[in-house]
Chain A
Amino acid sequence: MTTAVAPTGAAPPATRTSKTPKGRKGMKSVYPSWFYIPAAVLFLIFFAVPTFSSFYFSLTRWTLFDVQFIGLDNFIQFFQEPQLVTAFTNTFIYGFVTSAAKVVLGLALALLLTGPILGRGYLRGVIFFPVLVSTIGIGFTFKALLDPFHGIVNNVLGFLNLPQPGWYTDPGLALLTVAAVDVWKGVGIATLIFMAGIVAIPHEYFEAARMDGAGAWSVFRNITLPLVQPATATVIILSLIGGLRSFDLIWAITKGGPGFTSDVIASVIYKQYQAGFFGLSTAGNVILFVVVIAVMVPVSIFLNRKQDEL
């Protein structure tokens, strides 16, 4: 009985040959392929079909009811209008700045919070809390806190006789301000992932290093940093994926303004959609698609190779 139903593919060849056709059928259906179907249907209808049709719609003048093929005009228009080019470069800046800051701050906080420190539970909770708050709510809160005239931040800076920048009204600063708020909101997840990575490093390594007289910096540089690499890769990939398509926070704080200086591709897609240029909007989507692939593929290959070297 037991040999007849041994279901694993790792069963020895002898038993495999002795199986009846009926038994083999039973073995196959232990892990039924139709388990893929529910997810596959959703994936196909709401992801694959739209993604592939976006390539076609990006080449059209489109109003949901009427489609007219116009070739590459949408893409030409996209790269001819300076504000759209700004959005293109801003997407990269936003993605890289938020991702880098989350890695550095998340790792630093994780090191702090896995060591002996006063109030560890409180600090962990408070750093993670913003993750739970609505992005739009956080956007409005910081819009008020960073208000150029009445906000507490500039009031304190004024009290200290420091310059009071127009955080989201200064064209050169708006995008970075939003990115900073994004880091403030998202650093909790990065910290959590890094903490998991640090705690997973066997304790013996640290003890051995200390026996050999390694200082704090040397332990970090030669043990923690290389061994926490999987967590680093996770944080980089997740925050890049999120950062490159970021929309909610930008829309809540600046709506892409002042002017178009803090627009990113995702906000342009929405603006063109609102204006009724569905074809142009979808072209923006295809451009975002290309940007994300162009960034994510080399980054993941690089991170994977680094992992293999260890």
Chain B
Amino acid sequence: MTLTEAVTTAGSRGTRAPKADRRPMTFRRWMRKYAVGIIAILVSIVVFIVPFVFVVLQAAKDPREAGLVQFSLPTEWRLWENFVDVVSANDYNFLLAMLNSIVLTVASVAIMVVFAAMVGYVLQRKRSKLNAYINFLVLAALIVPPAVLPTIWVPQGVGLFKTLPGLILVEATFGLAFCILLFRAFVATIPKELDEAAIIDGAGPIRLFFGVVLPLLKPVIVTVVVVQAVAVFSNFQNPLYFLPGSDTPTVQLPLYNYQSQTVSQFNLLFMYVLLVTIPPLIMYIFFNRQIVAGMTSGAVKG
């Protein structure tokens, strides 16, 4: 499955520098490296840095200035005051929302990793007539857009509608197919001899999977965790459908409501955007090193 190979290896190979080029530095090549590089950096500043600087500037302004949505320095830097305002608004509702979002992300990604790894592992290892059907279902689940309202109807029947556990299960289900494809592709690179050795040493099927195979899946687990955690954390549509009302909001819903409730408080809106960006950023920085470490250890290369 080439689709998954490209994604599985994206994090690892993408970070590895290509082989050093030992050809002499000609004028053309010098031009390519520095002139193109400088142009690229300038363009990147305009295209990517300016929007983020804008968010920071907006988050530091007072409400009146921020309402003008102009790209200008604030006359008075109010980063801390705005931060306190956002966090303490509605009885520290922000903290609750952040906690909910983190619980939602951690729980649903944990379910995805374990369940999808189990499926991907058996699907790759075991030859069975069922495989063709399961592969088809996985692809179908990846492609088919979920039918939202009937999906509300099901958790409503079992009392999980408008609850965090309900949303956790829904998010986990929607992410499963993609994870299964990644795991199946990666399990193929783990030599079967390892399984045999573990069985000879007396491991049962459960110890074999959770004790031997799962730890070896670490690099692809990192990929799955990064991709899915960012997707779940920043998803707006699913909380919108499955957590209507404000009993247990996730961070994306109040962010959206900030726009309608407090039109004159653009400064707080952008402070909120800034704060909501921090958890995915921390996770990315943290796992980015793990990706490299997991790859260079070489334990998994078959």
Contact = CB atoms under 8 A, between A and B. Distances in A.
Interface of A: 1-2, 5-10, 29-33, 35-36, 38-39, 42-43, 45-47, 49-51, 53-54, 57, 62, 64, 112, 114-120, 122-124, 126-127, 129-137, 140-142, 144-145, 147, 150-152, 155, 184, 192-193, 195-197, 199-200, 203, 230-231, 233-234, 237-238, 241, 244-245, 247-248, 251-252, 266, 269-270, 273, 278, 281-282, 285-286, 288-289, 292-293, 296, 307
B300 interface: no
Given A47-B141, A199-B16, A237-B3, A32 B122 contact: yes
Interface of B: 2-3, 5-7, 9-14, 16, 18-19, 21, 29, 32-34, 36-38, 40-41, 44, 47-52, 54-55, 58, 68-71, 111, 114-116, 118-119, 121-123, 125-128, 130, 134, 137, 141-156, 169-170, 172-174, 176, 180, 192, 195-196, 199-200, 205, 208-209, 230, 233-237, 240-241, 251-252, 255-256, 259, 266, 269-270, 272-273, 276-277, 280-281, 284
B70 A54 contact: no
Contact of A50 (B18, B150, B200, B255): B150
Contact of A285 (B148, B155, B230, B284): B148
Contact of B200 (A2, A112, A141, A145): A2
Nearest to B20: A116
Nearest to B51: A141
B41 A122 contact: yes
6 contacts: A45-B154, A118-B37, A140-B273, A192-B11, A195-B13, A197-B6
Contacts of B7: 193, 234, 238
A1 B200 contact: yes
A14 B274 CA distance: 66
B150 A241 contact: no
A282 B192 CA distance: 46
Nearest to B255: A136
Nearest to B114: A38
Nearest to B16: A199
B266 A144 contact: yes
Nearest to B237: A247
Given A36-B122, A38-B115, A141-B54, A134 B14 contact: no
A50 B146 contact: yes
Contacts of A120: 37
Contact of A131 (B114, B116, B230): B230
B38 A118 contact: yes
Nearest to B127: A9
A270 to B, nearest CB: 7
Given A132-B230, A132-B277, A132-B281, A118 B200 contact: no
